[in-house]
Amino acid sequence: MSNNEIGEVVRKFIEDSDGILKLRPAWVPRDFLAGGHRLGLKEEEYDCGERGEIIERWFCSDTHAVNTIDIPEEGFSKLEIPGYTITIPEALRVCKEEILGTEYAKDHDGMGRLIKIYDYKTRLFLHIHQRQQDLNTQGKVSKDEAYHFLDAPLGAHPETFFGVHSYIVEKNLQYDIFLPMLKNWNGDDVNMLKHSRAFQNVPGEGFYLDSGILHAPGTALTMEIQEPSDVGAIYQANINGYPVDKSLLTKDVAPEDAEKWGSYELAALHQIDWEACADPRFYENRRLYPKPCEETRQGEVCEEWIYYGSPKFSGKRLILKPGEKFFSKENGVYNMFIWKGRAAVNGVPMIAGQFDLERCDDELLIVDRKAKEGVTIENTGDCDVVLYKYFGKDINPVTPEIG
């Protein structure tokens, strides 16, 4: 289809839907770890052959998933338009102002955030996402991120390792400790993790993580919001029996940085924000827990902030009892996902837990105009609705402070 044809279809879809756009699910396989099979698919649907297993679902995504076997549109969400396959990036290319709003579109090219649920059978490897200062020469984008642990089976290792023990940086031991492990790359992951600190994955809570901080996520089913990027460096050669190719340590290290520091391994260590990793108040400074959004309270119904503390992205949780309604009016474009129950958004049904590879009725994109006008969310079922709302960069410049 030409851009003109895509534009005609998308504009009609926006008009016919009154700015409340249904989306198709974006399932992402990975070949570096086994999945926990908690995403609601049939058992046989997780297996993607040599591409690995489906272990992530991305929401309203305009970010490309970087995998060993590259699939050009992998990671992109698609609009639920019968008879058409149109991705969010394609829709934004031709209808950016209609979706993002005229003013927001002047300074923002896309949704400005990536949301995913990740589902790991074992703990993930110790890794970072590089800071912007280490990516500028490569034309890549950094990735701050935040976690929210969902109410679901926690898995075998429901704790996440963050940073390093404070004394390591205080005594400048980080290079002496970690460089030999990276040079050898022999799978000695136990000695790697003993230098880090683990915190429990508590359903309903989470953490904010700045770029450059070492972390090894646990097995809780985790909903993550982040900047729209897929950069990273992995510092473990083996995790729970799964070998890690060393290219994943150095794939986002610039050659000039490797030359500057004398090796790719040493350059990768210099990408770590050691001061933040050694923060003695790491838990207090980065733990997230639901905070009431009093400015939108409607009687007994009060939304809660679950992602906050930064203009880079934000998010809310809304819980509705059977029969309750909530009028949702926001500063700009956002999308929503229903985790539990049945609801209607201006009459558009949302149903949790009915998953399919090609279609789900649990995800909507609310365009800028409709977000500012407001929509009515109603619990149409016989149990509590748990619904999440996600916002990109600068939509909510002021949110609660962390801590």
Per the domain annotation, does 322 fall within a domain? yes
Does 300 map to a domain? yes
Q: Same domain, yes or no, for 246 and 366?
A: no
Q: Read off the pLDDT band of 403 (50, 70, 90).
A: confident
What are the distances in angstroms from CA 43 to CA 33, 36, 46, 152, 342? 16, 11, 6, 18, 24
Closest CA to 143 of 225, 73, 72: 225
Q: Is residue 20 part of a domain?
A: no
- Cβ distance 111 to 225 under 8 Å? no
On the question of pLDDT at 48 being above 90, the answer is: yes
The verdict on 304 and 277 lying in the same domain is no
Residues 6+ apart with CB under 8 A from 228: 61, 62, 63, 110, 111, 112, 113, 114, 141
Among 288, 315, 335, give the residue marking a domain's end.
288
- Which amino acid is residue 268, in one-letter code? A
Contacts of 263 (CB under 8 A, 6+ apart): none
**In this structure, which amino acid lies at residue 323?**
G
- What is the tens place of the pLDDT at every residue in 70-121? 899 999 999 999 999 999 999 999 999 999 999 999 999 899 999 999 999 9
If asked whether residues 251 and 350 sit together in one domain, one would say no
Is position 128 within any domain? yes
188: pLDDT strictly greater than 60: no
C-alpha angle 206/209/215, rounded to 5°? 90
Domain finish residue from 270, 288, 306: 288
Confidence at 189, pLDDT banded by 50, 70, 90: low
pLDDT at 190: 60
Percent of the chain surpassing pLDDT 70? 99
In a domain, 342, yes or no: yes
| Per-residue confidence (pLDDT) for residue 51, from 0 to 100 | 94
Residues 200 and 334 in one domain: no
Q: What are the tens digits of pLDDT across the range 250-295?
A: 999 999 999 999 999 999 999 999 999 999 999 999 999 999 999 9
Has residue 126 been placed in a domain? yes
* Mean per-residue pLDDT of the chain: 95
Instruction: Centre a 10 Å sphere on the Cβ of residue 203 and count the other Cβ atoms it contains.
Output: 14
Mean pLDDT of 348-369: 92
Please provide residue 267's backbone torsions phi and psi, each rounded to the nearest 5 degrees.
-65, -40
Is 34 in the same domain as 131? yes
Query: Do 319 and 239 share a domain, yes or no?
Result: no
For residue 87, give the H/E element and its range.
none
- Would 283 be classed as within a structural domain? yes
Q: Are residues 164 and 306 in the same domain?
A: no
Instruction: Round to whole Å and give the CA distance between 365 and 4.
Output: 22
Query: pLDDT by residue (tens digit) across 318-335?
Result: 999 999 999 999 999 999
Residues 318 and 191 both lie in one domain? no
Strand partners of residue 336: 364, 389
Torsion, CA 69, CA 71, CA 72, CA 74, rounded to 10? -120
Residue 388 has pLDDT above 80, yes or no: yes
Burial 258-294 (b: 16+ CB within 10 A, else e): beebeebbbbbbebbbbebbbbeebeeebebebbebe
Same domain for 207 and 116: yes
- Please tell me the total count of domains within the chain: 2
- Give the pLDDT of residue 245: 87
Q: Which residue has the tokens 């996520």?
A: 217
Classify strands 197-200 and 78-79 as parallel, antiparallel or unpaired. Answer: unpaired
Please give the residue range of the domain that contains residue 154.
Answer: 29-65+111-288
pLDDT of residue 242: 77
Q: What is the pLDDT of residue 217?
A: 96
**Digit-coded pLDDT (tens) for 235-244:** 999 887 778 8
Cα-only R_g, the chain: 21
Write the pLDDT tens digit of every residue in 196-222: 999 999 999 999 999 999 999 999 999
CB atoms under 10 Å from CB of 15, counted, come to 10
Task: Quote the pLDDT of residue 359.
Answer: 87
State which of 265, 288, 311 marks the end of a domain: 288
Binned at pLDDT 50, 70 and 90, residue 33 comes out as confident
Q: Answer yes or no: do 280 and 296 share one domain.
A: no
- Assess whether 347 and 308 both reside in one domain: yes
Tell whether 149 and 229 lie within a shared domain: yes
Would you say residue 340 lies in a domain?
A: yes
Q: Kindly report the CATH number assigned to the domain that includes residue 218.
A: 2.60.120.10
The pLDDT value given to residue 187? 66
What would the mean pLDDT of 141-151 be, rounded to a whole number? 96
